[in-house]
Structure 1
Amino acid sequence: MRTRDSVDAVIKAYDIRGVVGDGIDVDFVRDTGAAFARLMRGEGATVIAVGHDMRDSSPELAAAFARGVTSQGLDAEMLGLTSTDELYYVSGARNCPGAMFTASHNPAKYNGIKLCRAGARPVGQSSGLATIADDLVSGVAAFDGTAGSVTDSDVLAEYGAFLRSLVDLSGIRPLTVAVDAGNGMGGLTVPAVFEGLPIEIRPLYFELDGTFPNHEANPLEPANLRDLQRFVLETGADIGLALDGDADRCFVIDEKGQPVSPSAICAIVAERYLAEHPGAAIIHNLITSRAVPEIIAENGGRPVRTRVGHSFIKATMAEEGAVFGGEHSAHYYFTEFFNADSGLLAAMHVLAALGHQESPMSVMMERYDRYAASGEINSRLENSAAQAERTEAVLGAFADRTDSIDRLDGVTVSLAGTPAWFNLRASNTEPLLRLNVEAPTAAEVDALVTEILGIIRA
């Protein structure tokens, strides 16, 4: 019998993730497949699509999940090596639930499962994960009926064609695009998506290797962008793209080898959507730059602020009828992509914007960078009590300088007399307290970061 603590340790707010052999193993995953299938059978599903990334543990875990699915009378459609957004495509296009085996940007020892309902609708803690956790603790009820079957499918070409149908790149000027796949799934999907377009791909680390021999597939960490920054300059590329391990996030490097803020990418894609959908709602999470809601409003759109995390963003997209949504972490969500996120679809919008004008990337993006930002800075605090105590200590230190405190997700503190703000929030997947700071100048950002980290890490 599993304990509640062991299950809660790996079932997070919006996915399942942990160290393989320590919380995540074949038995756990098989039973999770059964619990998910039981939940989906109650909603009328008959088949579940299952994809996996290139981690060494992923094929075995995906197969175990399929055994759990079929034990509950549902069929399992095995997609094999797949990016997360490719799995979302199948879920949306075929209107079936899906399960993606990946730990995204986490190191090789981790694995996990991203689950979705039919139509790529999210499964989070309050929309199914808590029920699955209860079943895993109490034991999944056996199914008194015929077992399901397992079939194999290859949908890569179909997925690539679908993305190309959503963004017209046929009329752009020829572009040289350097892409760092980080030995992740982008090495498989990028060639399929950009096939036949006026784009010359310069590949870096396209070999699928779940041990990540060159660097972690986490472009949010500046150290993991350095190889691409050098590569852009060496190849004379017009733009660089960095993908995370499961290729659902995309970071951008300009032609000078400098990172482009994901908030700026959110703003440029939002402008493109508002040109086609005047007055539409655009989602942004609370960590994106204040420039994002400003630019949305200036273009006649309706900015909608939400919590961090894909299940929250997707749910809000549906509730608000939004056409696009963006996060600080380079997740971008699209109404025509079933309200799901796709790093390559975001990249295609940026390439369309770049290719339909003559300015280099650095010049094109200048007007979107209005403030200086710290990026996300993590501090390891092993339990929630320590995180809460340090957060309250920071609030106390800033009490006489605070204009407002928002507790939508962690604490967002707006400082009096300035556009500066900071957010402190606990990670949903790791024992970390995350800090983001924005201010008018880099010097102001540095001063705030130094002061706040001095309290957190004391």
Structure 2
Amino acid sequence: MGQYYPFFKAYDVRARVPDELDAALAERIGRAYVAEIGARTVVVGRDMRLSSAELADALIAGLNAAGADVLDIGLCGTEEVYYGTFSQNADGGIMITASHNPKDYNGLKFVREQARPISADNGLFDIEKRAFDADFTDAATPGTRRALDQRDDYIEFLLGQIKPDQLAPLKVVANPGNGCAGLVVDKLEAHLPLDIVRMHFEPDGTLPNGIPNPLLVENRESTAAAVREHGADFGVAWDGDFDRCFFFDENGEFIEGYYIVGLIAEMLLKMNPGEAIVHDPRLTWNTLAQVEENGGRAVQSKSGHSFMKQVMRDTDALYGGEMSAHHYFRAFSYADNGHIPWLVMAQLISETGKPLSTLVSERIAAFPASGEINREIGDPDAALADLESHYSPHAESIEHVDGLSMDFGAWRFNLRKSNTEPVVRLNVEARGDTGLMRDKTDELLARLGQH
């Protein structure tokens, strides 16, 4: 959390408007960004929130005052700022968004050239300090602002990631949650043999259908019901800035992101054999198996987008996936994208001829998992030390890549602590034994309850 502004987080800015974040601060952040990054050309986009246009105007004024030229791509998703940054060879990009936060929030996401992330460990808090201290100067010659309509180019890029002529005429429920994902879906549909069932499709900053966060159980039922009502082959829902997407099978069942990673890896490896696939340490066995079965090479990374993207670059990986529904692609400058996954899924269903429920149930049966379970405890460090001490005599391997991972042959678990609150996050999986997975999950939770 930021030292000067508590709403500067590890990866971005999320703040209440206008009592924490207002136009004046957005302008200072623009000036501070240029002073810190040295950017000469910056791509700027914004989401549908009611405050986004005003904040974008102020941010751009600050960028221009500091001497940077701005390519303004307007209403969009975070991935479109990423695309603009690398496709235009810009020095950086900034997205005005608060993603899935409540409607009185807004924020900013920052990247460098080639959509490389700016986070707490590589410049974000330096931008924060400059903004707080007004540590910047006006340029002798202000920069310019130019509108850039790149969406048709972006659609062409997305279509190039799959084989549209091999898709079956599937029916897909699409729920942007009144965010901006529908702007891209509308243009994609004209090039695909898909029947798109639209819901909550209009970008609307009043969020009339609730916060666009499909991870909330109460937000899932509308998508699930639409899938069942329309007899769709699958459903997809996005958060507000659509850098994450979430899947529902043809029965309306929500699918854990862990199993989606393996399915996307399988499809991409069929088209690109022998490539590296990056995964996070929380749940691993299913991904490892699907990568191996399809001739790929699995590489582990600490969870979190800045870590995943760096490992992707270091290994030149084809794809990386986290169970949190972030999906990263080499073709997308190693950045996360919320549209490629559902297009790849449509191709997998088309080519295998199997419904999504079957594709997923086969993997769940092979590697049942608990899903992430959060627990508030008084001393997370003591809890991790206790579990490691208690279970280590029986463990086949122990890792500390991201928290504590312990492998017992027939089952394994990962336990991580939150960086911002006294919470630990537990994931448990087993090899083909749901009962064992549940028993060990209960056992671990009981032991954590002692802390």
Residues 269 and 457 from structure 1, CA distance in 2 versus in 1: closer, same or farther, beyond 3 angstroms?
A: same
Match of 2:3 in 1: 5
Say whether 1:81 aligns with 2:75.
yes
Match of 2:51 in 1: 57
Structure 1 segment 361-380 matched on structure 2, within 5 A: 361-369=356-364, 370-379=366-375
Q: Which secondary structure state, in structure 2, belongs to the residue aligned with residue 77 of structure 1?
A: strand
Q: Structure 1 residue 4: deviation in Å?
A: 6.4
**Which among 281, 299, 305 is matched to residue 304 of structure 1?**
299
CA contact under 8 A between 1:394 and 1:452: conserved in structure 2? no
CA contact under 8 A between 1:99 and 1:114: conserved in structure 2? yes
Match of 1:423 in 2: 415
Q: Structure 1 residue 286: deviation in Å?
A: 1.7
Q: Structure 1 residue 175: deviation in Å?
A: 0.5
1:262 & 1:439 partners in 2: Cα distance?
Answer: 17
Q: Which amino acid is the alignment partner of residue 102 of structure 2?
A: P
CA contact under 8 A between 2:4 and 2:132: conserved in structure 1? no
- Unpaired segments ≥5 residues, structure 1: none
1:356 & 1:264 partners in 2: Cα distance?
Answer: 18
Structure 1 segment 24-423 matched on structure 2, within 5 A: 24-41=21-38, 45-96=39-90, 97-369=92-364, 370-379=366-375, 386=378, 389-393=379-383, 395-397=385-387, 399-402=389-392, 403=395, 405-409=398-402, 411-414=403-406, 416=408, 418-423=410-415
CA contact under 8 A between 1:219 and 1:251: conserved in structure 2? yes
2:29 & 2:444 partners in 1: Cα distance?
Answer: 40
Q: Which amino acid is the alignment partner of residue 34 of structure 2?
A: A
CA contact under 8 A between 1:253 and 1:260: conserved in structure 2? yes
Q: Which amino acid is the alignment partner of residue 114 of structure 1?
A: K
Runs ≥4 residues deviating over 4 A: 430-433, 440-454
Say whether 1:437 aligns with 2:428.
yes
1:214 & 1:323 partners in 2: Cα distance?
Answer: 36
CA contact under 8 A between 2:79 and 2:243: conserved in structure 1? yes
CA contact under 8 A between 1:172 and 1:352: conserved in structure 2? yes
May I ask how many residue pairs the two structures share in their alignment?
444
1:352 & 1:313 partners in 2: Cα distance?
Answer: 25
1:56 & 1:38 partners in 2: Cα distance?
Answer: 28
Residues 173 and 276 from structure 1, CA distance in 2 versus in 1: closer, same or farther, beyond 3 angstroms?
A: closer
CA-based RMSD of the aligned residues comes to 2.4
Q: Structure 1 residue 224: deviation in Å?
A: 1.9
2:24 & 2:437 partners in 1: Cα distance?
Answer: 47
Q: Which amino acid is the alignment partner of residue 207 of structure 1?
A: E
Q: Decide which moves more: 142-151 or 73-82.
A: 142-151
The TM-score with structure 1 as length reference comes to 0.89
Q: Decide which moves more: 258-267 or 228-237.
A: 258-267
2:259 & 2:149 partners in 1: Cα distance?
Answer: 35
Q: Structure 1 residue 51: deviation in Å?
A: 0.5
Q: Structure 1 residue 119: deviation in Å?
A: 1.4
2:252 & 2:113 partners in 1: Cα distance?
Answer: 40
Q: Structure 1 residue 165: deviation in Å?
A: 2.1
Residues 456 and 144 from structure 1, CA distance in 2 versus in 1: closer, same or farther, beyond 3 angstroms?
A: farther
- Unpaired segments ≥5 residues, structure 2: none
Q: Sequence identity of aligned pairs in percent?
A: 35
> Residues 51-73 of structure 1: CA distance to partner in whole angstroms, max 9, x if unpaired?
01111121111111111111110
CA contact under 8 A between 1:268 and 1:368: conserved in structure 2? no
Q: Which amino acid is the alignment partner of residue 305 of structure 1?
A: Q
2:376 & 2:26 partners in 1: Cα distance?
Answer: 28
1:231 & 1:223 partners in 2: Cα distance?
Answer: 14
CA contact under 8 A between 2:276 and 2:319: conserved in structure 1? yes
Q: Structure 1 residue 359: deviation in Å?
A: 2.2
